[in-house]
Structure 1
Amino acid sequence: MMLFSRKKKQTEEARKRLEYQMCLAREAGADDILDISKCELSEIPVSVFSMCRVLQKKVLIIHTNHLSTLLPKSCNIQDLSMLKILDLHDNHLTLLPEDMGQLVSLQVLNVEQNHLKFLPNSLSTLAQLQTLNLKGNRIRKVPESLNGLRSLRTFDISQNRIQILPQDLAHIRTLESKFMDYEKRKEQKQQEKLDFERRLNEEQRERTQLIMQSNSQKEQVLMSVKQEQGKLDQGLRDQQRYLEVERQRLQEELKQGERGATNLIHNLLEDSERRKQNSMLLESLEKERLRMDQLMAISQEENERLRKREVAAAMQEMLSESSMNKILQMVYETRRRQLVDEASSSMAEMDGKLQQVQAWQQLDQSKTIGQILSEAEMQKVAFEALQVKKDSKHTRIRDQIKLIENELMQLTQIELDRREIDTENLQGTLMEERQALSDLLQQLLKEKKQREKELRDLLAEMETKHETNQENYWLIQYQRLMDQKPLSLRAREEGVEKALVDLLAELSADQYLPLFAHHRVTLKMLCYMTVEDLQQIGVKESRLQRAILRRVQEGLPREDRRFVPVKEAAADLGEVQPSAPVESEAGPSSPSAPVPEEVLAQSECVVCMERESQMIFLPCGHVCCCQTCGAELHACPLCRKDIEQKIRMYRTS
């Protein structure tokens, strides 16, 4: 026998049925019946007792459940004192409360098919009880106190273990006897038959009269309907003529409105196209000017280097010629002296020495050329790395990719932590945010590859333009790039306020500094600008526009904040900032704040459960595997989607 019985979990259908019956009983005008049968209840809810007390329910039906007791804890049976019918059959009741006598209005008590072993003595105080059904229980003895039930008419104790009934039950005169006199019943049936035939004849006569009356009324109704139909037809024709005239008039007005709207849209499109062309022209002119300045500076330095190199080359050539003449002279003198002494032996020895000297010179020359070439390649590689590091667009894309990777890791951790909780709406929201972040990450990766390709093309163009015999060309370019001033410093020198530069740098909008410098925009001007004004000067991202205006208004004194445009304030108050970044018209906006370090430290590989998660799977966007386990997977272990691309994450402390 089990010491602890586990409660059976209520099904969804039973729970819905319980909620529906409770709502139906609370409605205005509902009857006095509360039916919560077949709801798989293990105990009666507390709200049932309060509802019976407040709404004064008279019938309570709780059959076909899993009840083991009638009265739960913290409930009082006096709340059911107004009940007249209590149906508890087909449950698991083992006993009834001792204070059942407090149900003074109870008339019918049905506890059929339960596990009752005895009855409480307080049942004898139920003076109005008329029906008591104890069929199909385990009762061995009927209390003798039941003779107090003076109103009892039906008493069913079949299918129990009772062997002897109390003699006092015979004194209850209201109990119906199952044995009746046959003749008495026969006379009663005959009398009922005669009464039925008499009533049938009367009903037939009444039916005939009703048919005649209905026919006459039907004719009168038909005549009145015909008259009303004629009037309605005439009114309908008049209404149709009026509606036709109104429809024609509205069609003319709509045509005029459409022509006006078409002209207005055409004018707006032309105006926007002209503004777009002007902004593109200004931007291209600015880029061309910067490029020409850079090329002029490079060409001047290259000319100076070339002149120095020519002078050094001339000096080196002169020194090499003089040293060669000295060597030749020494060799000539040596050979002349040796020819005098020993002509044949000295000539062979001299030839060997000359060949050795020539081999050494060639070896030194090849070593020097290799060293120069290797240094040039190293200088080129260093310049390429510095160029990628100094490029603001590439740096911004890298920062956005890192933020999106952290966002994806946080979403994956939240999804893993809340998977055991029944939150279907939250799972759907997390999936939508993760999909949006995955799409944005793929777009940023494409932009990063495109920017790296542009930088490599620029490097190739510079390599084709410089002279092949120029020394330390890439070293010069590297030093020039190191000495180049940052964009923020150049913007300050061009007249942009320091506070405005810091504000744009804080919002990751450094690329718009040339536009603000070109239009000579100040913080005081920004206080009175709108979203349309920022759109006109070239700031295309709607989210960045609102962020700039909001930060400017936050920096104003309190007495000046009344000049905030109403439209912008309403947009800021009504906008709901999403957790995942969205795509704007000009490009990807900045994601939300980075993930805390404690969240990153808790993410671990769901395969080996030992190492940290380091791989991002696309297109699903889950961050759930380390590099070792992720290299062998072809489908995401969380959502089972096919993996099209794997991205390695590098975390920094």
Structure 2
Amino acid sequence: MRQIALSTGNSGHVANCISKLPICSVWYSAGSELPACSVRYSALASCISQLPAYSVRYSVQNSHRKMPLFFRKRKPSEEARKRLEYQMCLAKEAGADDILDISKCELSEIPFGAFATCKVLQKKVLIVHTNHLTSLLPKSCSLLSLATIKVLDLHDNQLTALPDDMGQLTALQVLNVERNQLMHLPRSVGNLLQLQTLNVKDNKLKELPETLGELRSLRTLDISENEVRRLPLMLAHVRTLETLSLDATSMVYPPPEVCGAGTAAVQQFLCKESGLEYYPPSQYLLPVLEQDGAENSQDSPDGAINRFSREAADWQNRFSDYEKRKEQKMLEKLEFERRLDLGQREHAELLQQSHNHKDEILQSVKQEQTRLEQGLSERQRCLDAERQQLREQLKQSEQSIAGRIQRLLQDNQRQKKNSEILKSLENERIRMEQLMSITQEETENLRQREIASHSLLSAAAMQQMLTESCKSRLVQMAYESQRQSLVQQACSSMAEMDQRFQQILSWQQMDQSKAISQILQESVMQKAAFEALQVKKDLAHRQIRNQIRLIETELLQLTQLELKRKSLDTEMLQEMISEQRWALSNLLQQLLKEKTQREEELHDILVELEAKSETKQENYWLIQYQRLLNQKPLSLKLQEEGMERQLVALLAELSAEHYLPLFAHHRISLDMLSQMSPGDLAKVGVSEAGLQHEILWRARNLLDSARVQPELKPSKDEVLGVLEPPAAPQEAPESVRPSAPPAELDTPTSECVVCLEREAQMVFLPCGHVCCCQQCCQPLRTCPLCRQEISQRLRIYHSS
């Protein structure tokens, strides 16, 4: 009898296995006289079922695998996933064979669909080799789903143990767990009564269970490349064992020399140790082969031979069809892989082109971004420079305004403390009392003709107007008379019209003479004119007006600075600006009170003059008006005394005109000032320390400029041109200029914060803001900038 050695390391060609089947399957019955040829389906099915498992070509890269430190559930690759889906679909097709092959799919556990497929479609062969399995049975699955499996191939995995209920696979004939990590075999393996091949090669087994002796149909056992040193004594009861593969040199029991002698020697040794008589396996194979085919066996030997021939031919056809389908599937797989590879290459080219295009776009975007960032940084630097320059200008303006405010405050204190002003006021009062005496010469020199000439001009205009109106009226009357009388009354009408014209002219001359006499004798009008001229010529009133005008200008500049700081979101020196504005507001209110007080004093003087005047004196107020006009101005007096024009202008810029008499009395010139000290000015009568230093500094600057440009140096005989006198200024006085250096805001103009069209003209008190025009300020009750209640409004008149 010829044996078929089925092992993973020595798998023959399919055709050779098929050619051996008839010889292996013919047995002679020992109980009958005639040789009864019976075909055993179980042996045939065992060989055929093993062929697909062992005909799959695979290569083992590593004969010994190392166990990883941690078993992690690996995610299968895309190719492995596609292969699993393909194999599952192939197994479910109509007319498919009894094989489910899910090998090389990188599985960490057998999917639930494989168990369901084996259970529903009654699969007989399950091939799961070359995966990453750590356990055979996943959760929520049962081994009863594999009850029909005859061949189970699990080699090249990472199994550490088999399920304890492995004995439920009662139909299992071939179990291959080669190259795994098994530490032991379950005791239930003894329940696999139909198991014929058990391959546990290259594992980590140290012993075999005693239940292995219950495998009555076991024909091949491979335990090589393990740590097994002793064979169980119960193995002697396995009478069908034909092939036993083990490591003879490392065996302890049986001895190495017995193990090296072959399977028969080992079985004889174990039977002798167990007290059993040894019989060759050929005597026990017939019952094993008859066990599965008992239901289909018949009494006739010829029928068995024919049935065997038919079944062999059927299996041969089925296997041929399987091989053809397998080759066709392999070709389809190769074609699919080729198309897949071609698609992947095209996808890679498209991806590369997309990456290149994306890189170009990113590079252009990066360059554009860099250019924009450079432009933004440059613009930011320009803005920072402009902002810094504007801050410097604002700082200089604030310093200039602070200096001018300080000087205004000093001037105010100086005017309060200056006794000279009181003396001058007293002298002015005495002088006004002396005006009561009117001489005959002043009466004769009264410029009545000049005043009358002005009146005659107005009277002539009125006469012409009356003449024209009368002419038109007379023309109308003549026209009416002509219509009534026509030719007969023409001469008489003309004579009458001449007479009437003469009468109208005489009336006009009478009216004109009456108007002239009335104007000349109108004392009330004369008094009002004198009062207006006196207020205009008064030195104290003029100084107060100039200071009010200067404070209004400073308040306007402070309001502009405050608005600029709000637009720039800067809060530097904001508190200082508010303090300066409040100080200027308080000073402005005080000056307004002083102005009102001075006007009242002048009015009292006028009342006193009126009370002391002679009631019968004719043209009294006209004489006073002429005397005030004929009074010699201070500029002429200083010119007579030889004051330098630049020195007078210097004192006027510093609002120190009241010191002009002192400088004229001591005959101080610019050359003398350049050599004087603040103490010398104090001795002269200039008491303010800041004013002393400012006068000396400006005098030296003027002399330095004169040295550079000699034509600017004044001569000693140069006198004053036109300067406002302290008591009788001209009708159009020059505006007092600030003493500080000119700021950036030379012409302070600010638009109305309400309408944003007209110029700001109103000062709000007590806050001091200049932010509204005259039209918009009427309905306002609070300041638009600081929301403070408005107690007083003051109109600003800008001089051209």
Do both share a fold (TM > 0.5)? no
Question: Which structure is richer in relative contact order (CA contacts within 8 A, separation 6 or more)?
Answer: 2
- Normalising by structure 1, what TM-score? 0.39
- Normalising by structure 2, what TM-score? 0.33
